[in-house]
Structure 1
Amino acid sequence: MVKMIKVRPVLGFLVILSILCIGLAAAYTPVDNYLISCGSSVDTPVGRRLFVADNSGTVVLTSPETTAVKASPSAVSGLGDTDAAMYQSARVFTAPSSYSFRIRDPGRHFVRLHFFPFVYRGYDLATASFKVSTQDAVLIDGFSPAARANASTAPACEEFLLDVARDTLVVTFVPLAGRLAFVNAVEVVSVPDNLVGGADSSQSIGQQLNPAVMPLQTVYRVNVGGPAVGADSDTLWREWTIDQPFLIATVTTAETKMVAYNGTLNYLPGQATPDDAPAIVYATGRELIMNDSFDGMKQMAWQFDVDRSASYLIRFHFCDIVSKAPGVLRMNAYVDSSSSSAITDLDLSAIGNGVLAFPYYRDYVLVTSSTSGKLAVYIGPSSKKITTPAAILNGLEIMRILASAGSVVVVEPAATETKKKNLAVVLGSVCGAFAFVSIAAALVILLRKKEEKEELRTPSTNQPSTAWMPLLGRISFRSATPSATGSMSPSFTVDANTPGGATPASTAASSSRSYRFPFAALQDATRNFDEALVIGEGGFGKVYAAVLQDGTKVAVKRANPESRQGAREFRTEIEMLSGLRHRHLVSLIGYCDEQEEMILLYEYVEHGSLRSRLYGGGAAAQELSWAQRLEACAGAARGLLYLHTAAAKPVIHRDVKSSNILLDAGLTAKVADFGLSKAGPDIDETHVSTAVKGSFGYVDPDYVRTRKLTAKSDVYSFGVVLLEALCARPVVDPRLPKPMVNLVEWGLHWQGRDELEKIVDRRIAGTVRSAALRKYGETAARCLADRAADRPSMEDVVWNLQFVARLQEVDGLDVSDVSSLNMVHQLTPPSHARQRSAGGSVTGGGDEEEGSSVLDDDYTDASMRGIFWQMVNVRGR
């Protein structure tokens, strides 16, 4: 039974507090702050904000198939002054159209879409059906006002929190099934970088679900025990509802009361800020009542309607405004069932070092919600200590994690006629200069082509003569063209003069090999993409084992239309691998972009991923010995070293993990999946500023904090792989006891105690020599340093792993033995090891010579300068 106590005095105080909070709600000033009144010809005040007309030039709108419509006064009369102003006009789309926003502050942004259907002449907005997407994610798939309850009387606001890494955000509206699309208002507003992933963030996160880098959709935002909070009273213009509609009576008939605080909140460094939730959220709450019959099993409970089997980020807002002394209030929180613990034995005063009334939040990720479509949240006392007060909750946010991007549609806006005219004037004024530059450029191109032809006739003895190397700099990208459905079809072409390039139709029968494979050939090779041939599946799509017509066995990776990855990763993969060649990198054989398909062909790697061999289940997971694991890690490190050093700019992989390290027939490690790779900084720069990308558990924390990407980010991820290889367990495993959930924290704990042997995979524990383990653990710990500057380079990592292998092989050798350059010769592998072939690599032609590249040699990756440094500083490492 839910019981309200002292409601009137509390609500009176809340009204006063709410008014005071309005004056505090302007602390954060967003760099990007687009407030668009769609379909309006004049700017529209909404509360304390001003929404500008969408034809004012603030944003770019695709205009051929759009119409501005306006509601009659009677249609919006029941909405109130604020809502009536926002929803009195709309923009209607009868074909795929978009708004384009210039992004000056890359990072997290709120995108809010406002909808209110009304009838305007021949347009009935209630019959609309459409989808909305950005370049990277589908925000709404199949929005239909007619399917919503109270569609004709209640406006809808769909809010998303996106990590925008581009300089332009395109929001595209696509009508479905011959119907129309519409929108009344659009907000694109930047938010503080630590809004997600900051403060005391999640401790129970499902594997591979990282809310800090994934699109989120707000489903519920509740001020528990307090009044509704409007956008004007929130620094980030969010709206908070009351919690009464969601309260449920539990089987123990718990009683609750609303509480309020009239003192000053104690904001602590590193904890919640006024940007995380308004002060009124933390100054109000709902408390679990203690009475004579209280047996410690009662809990407060709320229930919400959600999508079945979806993933959710749940944020609990706490502020101890009821305790008289520290150390009394201790709570548990449960999600989905009263036995599924999300937070255990929470003692707020211990977190605040004895301080009370300080704002605090805790995140929890629900990997899969109930198939019933109901999500319940419970708050109760800790089973360890039941006292008064028993439990409190101040606020609750539930955000759906958009783990799958769906079929993204992007309509790039065309320039307006005015801009075209202005451009013509500018071009006319510089016509003479342009003509001069064009002639000069033509001469340079002719000379360059002549030089390139000479180079092709006489290959350099200093460069590897591989089939893919001539593609470097010659792969070109045609503009994406919209299909009949409005989707964009990226196309790629290769210079016809390039060996293996696409050939003209007249020479289609030529024997010249083509790296652009026809879709029909791949259908034949995969038996029309038979599910029985699937050998793996990732964020991009499924991977099939296939055999080409010439008998070559290949791996075919086909993009899934529902995937979060798409044309950008497809292009990146081709660009990166077409210019890179190393025995420890997976070789790209070709691609296909016909019929809106995005397909990549790689050499077939027989033994799958390192992850599957370590703990993928079955007998295969038992086959890797300690020596084989060491060799696999060292090989992957050499591949990464090649990426970091082979070109003028380092190539940063950004997604180093055990599932992206493959093992061929000879168990040679090969780094794969370059869809997230990025060119590193120039020689005179220290980093590249970019949005955070990667896989949860492997992402460099320094990169997450600063958004500064360097090669040291790969080093951190590789350090995680080193612990995986040693312990043979997932990076994050919520099924384990709390201290063991996070492999990095667990491994560094035992490494710090010099007892790493206690967590070694029992299948190899008896074969690992103590000296090798000490050096291995030290190497992993240095890779996992919190600050990028404290980590070794990949060159040092390669050397260390070679040294670990030597310590493992030579009986009695210890770190202390390496005290002079006399060891250099002993540590250098024999020549036959340096010259061995790739072993089991299938490239489709079999005609390239492994080892032809200077950097293809396993043991020339580490320079003598690096080795010398290691020798004289080995004790300090």
Structure 2
Amino acid sequence: MGNITWRFNVRKKAIHLVRLHFCDILSPSAGLWKFDFYIYTKFRRVFDSQIFGSTLAAPVFQDFVVQSDDSGYIRFSIGPNNDSGWKIAFLNGLEIMEFVTNTSMKLDQLEPEHPSGKHRDLVIGFSVGGVVLISILIILFLFAVRRRKAKPVQAMFLKDEAPTGRGTPHSWIAATTVNSFSPVPNLNLKLKMPFSEILAATSNFDTKLLIGEGGFGKVYKGTLPTGIKVAVKRSDSSHGQGLPEFQTEVTVLSKIRHRHLVSLIGYCYEGSEMILVYEFMEKGTLRDHLYIWKENSKSESTQPVLTWKQRLEICIGAAKGLHYLHTGSDWGIIHRDVKSTNILLDEHYVAKVADFGLSQSGPPDPSQYRMSLIGSFGYLDPEYVRTLRLTEKSDVYSFGVVLLEVLCARPPIVNSSRREEINLAEWGMFWQKKGQLEKIIDSSLAGQINPNSLRKFGEITEKCLKVEGAGRPTMIDVCWDLEYALQLQQTPVPREPHEDSTTDVSSNFVMTHYNSASNEEIFVGDDDETDSMPIFSRSMIDDPR
């Protein structure tokens, strides 16, 4: 049997994550075969049945980080190893994902090469003509739809009066909701803000007030007429999120309140503008305080390093917020995008969970199993990836990755020549199972961590990152365990008279500096509210109960 080769077109000189899928359904017993795997002709790895352990017919995967060359493709080959008793080789699946570091790609980077100028001109001519024709049809369709809806909306405007304290009439959302024309029903109209007020708060979206950018759009710092500082998130369709995420965010945050959940102050939906206004969180995201300052030398001197006690308190606060989401209604709310950039810190470093645009609430819907994956790479629950069945335990897994970020101060995915270091969850569990978690902690924590606190923290993280969701704890269990880890941290460690009082498990390790392999969503928001409000069973439909 010779080698089998596949070739895939990719961008030149780009970095890719390659995931190989295997499932041995052929072998009658383990240890019968070996085969070689090649990337281009430069890299070779020998796979044997040991990657499946003692269980046959079990799906497994292997990850590699590959940089493409000037050829414009990546070539993979497999073939039996010379020392293999059973001459077979197999590959059940292969995924290639490019690490995008610059989203403003130039057109000439995407334009294919053509053998002749005439052929290229012909293709361009047909393409432009097709785009123009489609654009005309879309404009005609939108014009017809607008004419059909114009009369009912206009009649409602004529009957409306200007709201007290506002200089403009009610928006078309309020008017058309009565006539069932609104594309965003059941929004809390008490939180609605006019676009003019938001323009004034952000000085017409002055770029000097830009403080972040994420999946929904850009985020600006603003000040309301009352003097309250706010974070204003303005939708941008090019960022990938839109009306569904906007509606979910408003519906969820307008009906729940908790000390450890970011508060929604208002929203605006006028014309094409979709804007969310949050409390301003003075200290930014948790990720900013873990390793962003290491990547930006300018902020290194001004960004204070979080102590281990502060990190534990932040984790406890975030865990309490997630617990409230999971248990605050009959079926609870699943956040779906738990990560360090969605945990914000106020001026007192109190943690609040943010960004509910992807959240899901209500009883399980069988149709969700057919949906595509939603979440952030590096935080995705492997059980959810495998089955597409989402549960609150998916949030628990993502939170386990955040716990490792807090301990190690590195991103969930990094570029590394060592395979076990690429994925933070796998890397952390590799050292946890060896009982040497202290070897990968953040170097800035050297000498700070009580060994008993570290041991308990490692146990919590290992439980959260179990492959099967049924084996993971609930968020309230995580809260209790983290509280215990904090109590252990504050308990003095007995030492022998000859021991150096400054010695600790973390003092002998210097953390390797990594560069993040992907961009994360960032925005900031502030104060907390402790009062509970009525909660809901379905975030998209039901009223508060």
Determine the C-alpha separation between the residues in 2 that align with 1:731 and 1:664: 24
Give the superposition deviation at 1:528: 3.0
**Hey, what's the Cα distance between the residues in 2 that align with 1:621 and 1:665?**
13
Deviation at 1:648, TM superposition (A): 2.6
Shift of 1:806: 1.0
Question: What is the CA distance between 1:734 and its match in structure 2?
Answer: 2.5
Query: Which amino acid in 2 is paired with 1:519?
Result: F
2:175 counterpart of 1:537:
no
- 1:645 deviates by 2.0
Residue pair 1:605, 1:665 contacting (<8 A) in 2 also: yes
> What residue is the counterpart of 1:330 in the other structure?
36
2:235 to 554, 559, 562: 559
CA–CA separation in structure 1 for the residues paired with 2:477 and 2:366: 19
Residue 622 of structure 1: how far off its partner (Å): 5.2
| TM-superposed deviation, 1:361 | 9.1
Change (3 A) 1:681 1:547: same
8 Å contact kept, 2:52–2:60: no
- Residue 375 of structure 1 corresponds to 73
Question: Which is helix-richer, 1 or 2?
Answer: 2
Alignment correspondent of 1:634: 316
Question: What is the distance in 1 between the residues matched to 2:453 and 2:68?
Answer: 45
8 A contact 2:411–2:424 mirrored in 1? yes
The AA in structure 2 aligned to 1:374 is G
Deviation sequence 1:223-248 (CA, Å, 0-9, x none) = xxxxxxxxxxxxxxxxxxxxxxxxxx
Counterpart Cα distance in 2 of 1:360 and 1:752 = 19
In 2, are the aligned partners of 1:478 and 1:491 still within 8 Å (CA)? Answer: no
Secondary structure of the structure 1 residue equivalent to 2:473: coil
Determine the C-alpha separation between the residues in 1 that align with 2:18 and 2:441: 34
Encode CA deviations 1:28-76: one digit per residue, 9 max, x unaligned.
Answer: xxxxxxxxxxxxxxxxxxxxxxxxxxxxxxxxxxxxxxxxxxxxxxxxx
Change (3 A) 1:307 1:653: same
Give the alignment of 1:227-242 within 5 angstroms. none
Partner of 1:585: 261
Residue 346, structure 1, aligned to residue 43, structure 2: no
Per-residue Cα deviation, 1:501-531 (whole angstroms, up to 9, x for no partner): 2xxxxxxxxxxxxx22222332333333333
Distance 1:307 1:854, change over 3 A: closer
Does residue 1:643 correspond to 2:328, yes or no? Answer: no
Whichever residue aligns with residue 678 of structure 1, its letter is: Q
Q: Which moved more, 1:530-539 or 1:737-746?
A: 530-539
Q: Distance in 2 between matches of 1:777 and 1:598?
A: 42
Aligned with residue 377 of structure 2, among 675, 684, 696: 696
Q: Decide which structure has greater strand share.
A: 1
How is 1:703-852 mapped onto 2 (pairs within 5 angstroms)? 703-735=384-416, 737-812=418-493, 842=526, 850-852=529-531
Q: How many angstroms does 1:492 deviate by?
A: 5.7
Does structure 1 retain, via aligned residues, the 8 Å contact 2:38–2:78? yes
How much has 1:641 moved relative to structure 2?
1.3
Structure 2 CA distance for partners of 1:314 and 1:754, relative to 1, 3 Å: closer
Query: How many residues are paired up?
Result: 419
TM-superposed CA distance for 1:766, in Å, is 0.8
Q: CA deviation at 1:491?
A: 4.5
How far did 1:769 drift? 0.3
CA distance in 2, matches of 1:318, 1:520: 57
- Deviations 1:634-687, CA, capped at 9 Å, x for gaps: 0101111111222233111111111110111100001000011111548xx999
SS at match of 1:792: coil
Asked if 2 retains the 8 angstrom alpha-carbon contact of 1:554 and 1:601, the reply is yes
Q: Deviations over 1:812-838 (max 9, x none)?
A: 499xxxxxxxxxxxxxxxxxxxxxxxx
Give the match's secondary structure for 1:709.
coil
- Correspondence for 2:348: 666
Contact 2:39 2:77 in 1 (8 A): yes
- SS at 1:776 equivalent: helix
Give the match for residue 502 of structure 2.
none
Q: CA deviation at 1:545?
A: 1.4
1:706 to partner: Cα distance:
3.0
CA-CA distance at 1:776 after TM superposition: 1.2
Give the whole-Å Cα distance in 1 for the aligned partners of 2:71 and 2:221.
Answer: 38
**Normalized against structure 2, the TM-score is what?**
0.64
Greater C-alpha Rg: 1
Compute the displacement of 1:590 (Å): 1.0
Distance 1:396 1:494 in 2: 44
Aligned mates of 2:490, 2:214 — CA distance in 1: 37
Q: Does residue 518 in structure 1 map to residue 194 in structure 2? A: yes
Q: Deviations over 1:384-415 (max 9, x none)?
A: 9999xxx99999988787999xxxx9x9xx9x
C-alpha distance in 2 between matches for 1:668 and 1:750: 30
After superposition, the C-alpha distances for 1:767-789 in whole angstroms (9 at most, x for unaligned) are: 10011111111111111222222
1:528 to 177, 197, 204: 204
Deviations 1:96-138 (A, max 9, x none): xxxxxxxxxxxxxxxxxxxxxxxxxxxxxxxxxxxxxxxxxxx
Once residues 74 and 222 of structure 2 are traced to their aligned partners in structure 1, the CA distance between those partners, rounded to angstroms, is 46
Residue 347 of structure 1 aligns to a residue whose secondary structure is strand
Which runs of 5 or more residues in structure 1 are unaligned?
A: 1-258, 261-283, 287-300, 320-324, 354-358, 415-473, 482-488, 502-514, 815-839, 844-848, 856-877
Q: Secondary structure at the match of 2:383?
A: helix
Give the AA of the match of 1:781.
Answer: E
What is the match of residue 652 of structure 1?
334
Q: Cα RMSD over matched residues?
A: 4.8
Q: Once the 2 structures are TM-superposed, how far is the Cα of residue 381 of structure 1 from its aligned partner?
A: 10
Contact 1:605 1:663 in 2 (8 A): yes
Q: Which amino acid aligns with 1:589?
A: I
**Are the equivalent residues in 2 in contact too, given 1:310–1:400 (CA < 8 A)?**
no
- How many Å apart are 1:373 and its aligned residue? 9.0
CA distance in 1, matches of 2:402, 2:393: 14
Match of 1:571 in 2: 247
Q: Tell me the distance in 2 between the aligned counterparts of 1:667 and 1:674.
A: 21
Equivalents in 1 of 2:368, 2:419: separation in Å?
Answer: 35
> Residue by residue, what CA displacement relative to the aligned partner does 1:207-237 show, whole Å, maximum 9, x if unpaired?
xxxxxxxxxxxxxxxxxxxxxxxxxxxxxxx
- Displacement of 1:365 in angstroms is 7.2
Aligned equivalents of 2:415 and 2:175: distance in 1?
A: 44
User: In 2 relative to 1, CA 492–594 (structure 1 residues): closer, same or farther, beyond 3 Å?
Assistant: farther
Q: Deviations over 1:782-821 (max 9, x none)?
A: 112222222221111111111111111122499xxxxxxx
The 1:493/1:653 distance shift into structure 2, 3 A limit, reads: closer
* TM-score after normalising by structure 1: 0.41
Structure 2 vs 1, CA of residues 309 and 653 (structure 1 numbering), >3 Å: closer, same or farther?
A: farther
Structure scoring higher RCO (CA < 8 A, sep ≥ 6) equals 2
Residue 730 of structure 1 and its aligned partner are, at CA, apart by: 1.1
Residue 599 of structure 1: aligned partner: 275
Matched residue of 1:593: which SS?
Answer: strand
Q: How does 1:209-220 map to 2 (within 5 A)?
A: none
Check whether the contact 2:37–2:47 (CA below 8 A) recurs between aligned residues. Answer: yes
CA contact (8 A) 1:519 1:592 kept: yes
AA of the residue aligned to 1:603:
E
**1:615 — aligned with what?**
291
Distance in 2, Cα, partners of 1:627 & 1:316: 40
1:762 to 1:706, Cα distance in 2 relative to 1, 3 A: same
Residue 491 of structure 2 aligns with an amino acid whose one-letter code is: V
Alpha carbons 1:557, 1:599 under 8 Å: kept: yes
- Which residue identity is paired with 1:797? V
